[in-house]
Amino acid sequence: MDGLFSPVTIGSATVRNRFVLPAMQRGMAVRYALTPQLIEYYRRCAHGGAGLIITESAAIDHPTSTGHDGFVLMLDDRRGDGWRHCIDVVHAEDSSVLVQLNHTGACRVENSGGPRPDMASLSPSGLIRSGQPNGRAATLDELGELRDAFVRSAMFAKKFGADGVEVHCAHGYLLDQFLWHETNLRTDGYGGATLAERARFPAEIVRAIREEAGDDFVISVRFSQWKEADYAARIVEEEEDLRAFLARMRDAGADMFHVSTRRFWEPASPDGMRTFAGWVKSLTDARVVAVGSVGLNVDVMDTIYSEKTIESRAEHSFGVLQDLFAKGEFDLVAVGRSMMGDNDWVTKVREGRFAEVVPFRREIVKEALGEWDDTAIRQAAEHH
């Protein structure tokens, strides 16, 4: 089929269509491991049409990677059987799998859980945002340990059969804290006045994964302007600064940029003519994923923290996506909450069965958040 339902290559992988299930926590992990319920969710979304499944964030193999107590994912040999089974069943549905790797950095709530709650949270400069300290700045030796932990986790993902990994550099977590000028005040070569300079550490991680995993392993980099601690934040204003950042990450080994926005259709380029994904796409030959409230009128943070009425807009969104895709603004599109609400969303849209789409309900996210009141996402959001 043409357009959004045509296959696409990402590095060495071929994905059957342009629809992506992005990483969104479902609250279904137990003791940092995949559960049958979570595996079935991924299988159903693959069966329902998503060509690429990106798992919810897996905390990297480091004692300070998360403050969550057991219900986020991790990769290691003890949990290998679950990962292999999950990846196998998604592959059986003819979909590809990336594992998202993350470290929460200064968003981590200390003394609240996780593998080592007694340890200080690590970040570039000990800041969750300007004037909001938490934890401390990582030493150069600790940066090396963190880099090695990302690589170990990536190699576990490859060992278990994943097509690649997504390195999470968005939403105010550790690697995004290096990109944002408010949270990266380092003067040791890992900071700088430009986005490309501040990208040194994330680029080193991508390069180290590429060198260890080889060329037949997809590496996606997810990044954003906005943070959960500051919705209006911007890591880049100037086109040349963005171009240099993308070039640095691409040279390090990134195959794809997953460009996170709260509303995919909004103009974001300096000239006001392109979306954020479109702006990025105009500056790189890498694949670009658009994302942000596809099929809905309310963005993800308002879903959690407001009572705005949520309306399903599958047909309208699909029309806008088709127009933007025809203009070359993105290569793939991630559909999160809409696919959480209806695992068959892609198939129904492909067949024009818009009236049959099951509307997303706010309760799905609230149920997934569970007992997150004292964890990283809420701590960050309280400061926005």
Per-residue pLDDT tens for 124-183?
Answer: 999 999 999 999 999 999 999 999 999 999 999 999 999 999 999 999 999 999 999 999
- Whether the CB-CB separation of 296 and 262 falls below 8 Å is answered with no
Is the pLDDT at 384 greater than 90? The verdict is no
CATH of the domain at 184: 3.20.20.70
CB of 4 closer than 8 Å to CB of 325: yes
Coarse DSSP helix, strand, coil percentages of the chain, rounded to the nearest 5 percent: 40, 20, 45
Which ranges constitute the DSSP H helices of the chain? 36-47, 80-92, 140-159, 174-179, 195-198, 200-213, 239-252, 276-281, 300-305, 314-326, 337-341, 345-350, 362-369, 376-382
Mean pLDDT across 19-44: 94
For the chain, how many structural domains are there in total? 1
pLDDT score recorded for residue 379: 43
DSSP-derived secondary structure letter, 275: B
Query: Do 253 and 209 form a contact (C-beta atoms < 8 A)?
Result: yes
Structure confidence by residue, pLDDT tens digits, 81-125? 999 999 999 999 999 999 999 999 999 987 777 889 999 999 999
Question: Whole-number mean pLDDT of the chain?
Answer: 92
Domain of residue 322: give its range: 3-382
The DSSP code for 27 is S
Q: Check pLDDT > 50 for residue 289.
A: yes
Residue 366 has a pLDDT of 64
Nearest C-alpha neighbor of 343 from the set 367, 320, 360, 326 = 360
CB 375 within 8 A of CB 117: no
pLDDT at 375: 45
Mean pLDDT in residue range 68-76: 89
> Does 173 qualify as catalytic in the annotation?
yes
Q: How far is CA 205 from the centre of its chain?
A: 16
Around Cβ 363, how many Cβ atoms within 10 Å? Answer: 8
pLDDT at 372: 44
**Would you give the end-to-end CA distance of the chain in angstroms?**
43
Average pLDDT, stretch 294-322?
84
Tell which wins on pLDDT, 380 or 187: 187
Place of tokens 């309306």: 311
- Is the pLDDT confidence value at 373 over 60? no
Q: How confident is the model at residue 25 (pLDDT cuts 50, 70, 90)?
A: confident
Per DSSP bridges, beta strands 132-133 and 127-129 are antiparallel
Percent with pLDDT over 70 in the chain: 94
From the candidates 32, 41, 42, 173, give the one annotated as an active-site residue: 173
Mean pLDDT confidence for 325-346: 96
